Amino acid sequence: MSAFGVNDVVDFRDEAFRQVSISYRGEIYTYMPIKISINCPLNMKMFPFDHQTCHIRLCLPMFYLREVKMLLEFYQHVLQPSQIASMGNSEWRVLNVTGKIEILRYNQRSSDLKTCVFEITMERNPMYYLYMIIFPSFLINTISIFAIFLKKTDKLSKLNVGITTMMTMVFILGFIADSIPKTGDIPLLGIYILINLGIMIVAIAFVAFRDKLNNMLATRTETGKKDCRFKINQRLSLTLFTNMIENNVNLNVQKDYYEYLDVQSQLVDDVFKDYKENVAPILTRGISDDTTVFKNASYLPKWNYTLYIYYIKLVDVDEPMEKVSFVIELMEFWYDARLTWNATKYQDIKTIYVRQDSVWSPTLSGFGVNDIEDFRDSDFRQVSITHYGALYTYIPIAISVNCPLDMRLFPFDEQDCYIRFCLPMYYKREIDIFLQFYKVILKKAQIEATGNSEWRVTNVSGSIDVVKYGDDVSDIELCVLHISMKRNPMYYFYMIIFPSYIINTVSIFGIFMKEADRMSKLNVGITTMMTMTFILGVIADDIPKTGVIPLLGIYIIVNLGIMLFSIGVIAYLDKLRKYVTDRLKVTKSKHDTKIKKFIGKPLENILFWGLHIANLLNFSMMIVVWVST
């Protein structure tokens, strides 16, 4: 029994003490306590009031549909409401558990796979997010609105309250970022925080421009007042009860089935009579390390090995470590001329299944990988043997590769990763390696399903490459899987790019307010720069320590530069005016009046709108790059 498309599976049984029960009717059963982690796509639109449905798939990948019949049953006690309710944890409540038999179609009848599917429906408990985020955000916004509309307070102090509140909302956005996948959908809680940001922006804008509005509407009377208002890692213990026959067992087993077993037993004895499972069936005669001998032996037949890719799923991209993890289901085919027989002599038996340790098997290795894990139980690995000597086995693996990331366009970047497999023990002149995909996994819909919430897989392809060592002897053939991925930038847009633009915009208005003193303006600028530094710290956890500044980093640094220039203008503009005025008194130019007038309000307006345009251009650059990619 294998798990299909899982991230991790652990069997808690002691390998030395696994037992089975055998009845006189040939029924066999065993008990399997396991921990399993699956890749479950999450719909975060309603977060934290969301429901999720996850599927656990178990299969017998070595056998054809026509050879086995799979049944799925539950002990009735497991399906009782009280038992289902106890399956959850403090954050998640399990609502329902069901099961079904499902066939994965690969458009090749011989390759279709039947799976037992457990469907678990869960509901999140939102109380944590209610008292940690939703209610505090409401209170902070409410108090800030009262403070902004206090009558006997200067404008810049009110603006400072608003900016501090906006910083708090950005911090809260960063807090919830650790609880959600980097999906393309803005979750409900994110929308709530963004609306709070919007309310604060409106309140600040109203206070900033109220006097101008009063002057424009002086002839009108006020008629009323306005009120402002996750690597789910799912751990389950499953009890698997495996029956080899249906519930209504037919005790009268057909006679020809017993005859078949006798013939099969004789076949196995004959085939394995003089078989040496420790010796490889690879032709090495006339071949040595001497390259001259190798060149003269090119006519010799090579041993063939084929790798079939059955399923690929992107699990995780660890940017700081430049490590990309995948789950891959694959099959390996090879030939062993010693394991052949005349099927007509054995009642037309063309295929047998045996333990893998009964035959010689190639050692498939990952080349240049960071980690690789085979999910098969070492005691129950099987191979299929055909009458013409073809063997195959099924390998579900989790593999992590070191993938150099080009972060220049982060978060609008595309990446290419390569997974390499090889048979390192054999010379290239001794073996031929082939790589094939089941056609269905190369279809557009299936390729898109290969990604996760943050990364969309755009292409999957394969090739046979040769690692050349320059001596014509040690060259190694590699099966190379090429996966192209594109990041979904929505998370970074609503978490960083848009809030940064808004905060900078509001801060520029505050710094150029006439009614405020210089120290208050400086405080607004420094607070904004602290916010930008905090944002830089947030994105630092998502990128490798590369020598290239990513696009998002440039965006934040430019915002910092704009704010630094704004502070410099406020700090030294009066000194500049005084210096120019004193110089004009000495030079007594005919343009004195024009220069004095220009360094007054016109210069301040030019600087004010220039900084706003620079801020807008910086933001627009991000939008243009997003659209163009």
Q: Is 202 inside any structural domain?
A: yes
Where among 441, 459, 488 does a domain terminate? 488
Q: Of 430, 461, 488, which marks where a domain is finished?
A: 488
- Please indicate, yes or no, whether residues 95 and 225 belong to a single structural domain of this protein: no
Q: Rounded to an integer, what is the distance from CA 293 to the centroid of its chain?
A: 50
CB-count burial class (<10 Å; 0-12, 13-18, 19+) for 162: buried
**Closest to 373 measured CA to CA, from 7, 2, 29, 1:** 7
Q: How big is the CA angle at 394 (ends 467 and 426), to the nearest 5 degrees?
A: 30
- Which residue is listed with tokens 């309140």? 203
Instruction: Give yes or no: residues 58 and 80 share one domain.
Output: yes
Note whether 473 and 529 are same-domain residues: no
pLDDT of the residue at 109: 58
Percent of the chain topping pLDDT 90:
34
Mean pLDDT of 324-352: 94
- The three-state (H, E, C) secondary structure of 361-421, written as one string: CCCCEECCEEEEEECCCCCCCEEEEECEEEEEEEEEEEEEEECCCCCCCCCCCEEEEEEEE
Region 87-93 average pLDDT? 91
Closest by alpha carbon to 552, among 481, 508, 610, 499?
A: 499
* Whether residue 241 sits in one domain with residue 186: no
pLDDT at 98: 93
List pLDDT tens digits, range 445-476.
889 889 988 899 999 999 999 888 777 667 88
**Same domain flag for 236 and 212:** no
The helix (H) or strand (E) run that includes residue 618 is helix 601-628
Is the residue at 266 inside a domain? no
Does residue 177 share a domain with residue 74? no
Q: What is the largest CA-CA distance in the chain?
A: 123
Domain boundary pick from 218, 253, 288: 253
In a domain, 3, yes or no: yes
Same domain (yes/no): 447, 561: no
pLDDT tens-digit readout, 30-79: 888 888 988 888 888 899 999 999 999 998 888 888 888 889 998 888 88
Task: Return the closest-CA partner of residue 302 out of 322, 314, 285, 277.
Answer: 285
Pairing between strand 476-487 and 323-340? Answer: unpaired
User: Is residue 349 domain-resident?
Assistant: yes
In a domain, 496, yes or no: yes
Rounded CA separation 315/373 (Å): 14
What confidence score (pLDDT) does residue 254 get?
A: 66
Provide the percentage of residues in the chain whose pLDDT is more than 70: 87
Of 458, 409, 414, nearest to 625 (Cα)? 409
pLDDT digits (tens, 9 = 90+) for 100-158: 998 877 666 567 788 899 999 999 999 988 988 899 889 988 988 888 888 777 777 77
For residue range 209-233, what is the model confidence (pLDDT) as tens digits?
776 666 666 655 444 444 433 333 3
The secondary element (H helix, E strand) that includes residue 96 is strand 92-104
Task: For residue range 230-264, list pLDDT tens digits in order.
Answer: 333 333 333 333 333 333 344 445 678 888 899 99
CA 345 to chain centre: 53
**Number of domains observed in the structure of the chain:** 3
Determine the angle formed by the axes of helices 551-587 and 601-628, rounding to 10 degrees. 160
Query: What are the φ and ψ backbone dihedral angles of 624, each rounded to 5 degrees?
Result: -65, -45
Q: Looking at the structure, do residues 305 and 407 belong to the same domain, yes or no?
A: yes
Among 21-30, 150-159, 580-589, which range has the highest average pLDDT?
21-30
**Average pLDDT value over all residues in the chain:** 83
Task: Examine the domain organization and report whether 281 and 298 are in the same domain.
Answer: yes
Residues 385, 424 within the same domain:
yes
Decide if 227 contacts 3 (C-beta within 8 A): no
Residue 17 belongs to some domain of the structure: yes
Q: How confident is the model at residue 289 (pLDDT cuts 50, 70, 90)?
A: low
- Does residue 382 sit in the same domain as residue 473? yes
Asked if residue 421 and residue 537 are part of one domain, the reply reads no
**CATH code, 425:** 2.70.170.10
Residue 518 has pLDDT above 90, yes or no: no
User: Residue 390 is part of which domain span?
Assistant: 271-488
Residue 198 maps to a domain: yes
pTM given for the model: 0.76
pLDDT confidence band for 577 (50 / 70 / 90): confident
For residue 581, which phi and psi values (nearest 5 degrees)? -60, -45
pLDDT recorded at residue 337: 93
- What does the CA dihedral 174, 176, 180, 185 come to, rounded to 10 degrees? -80
Question: In the numeric block, which tokens belong to residue 545?
Answer: 């320590």
The pLDDT tens digits for 190-205 are 888 888 888 888 887 7
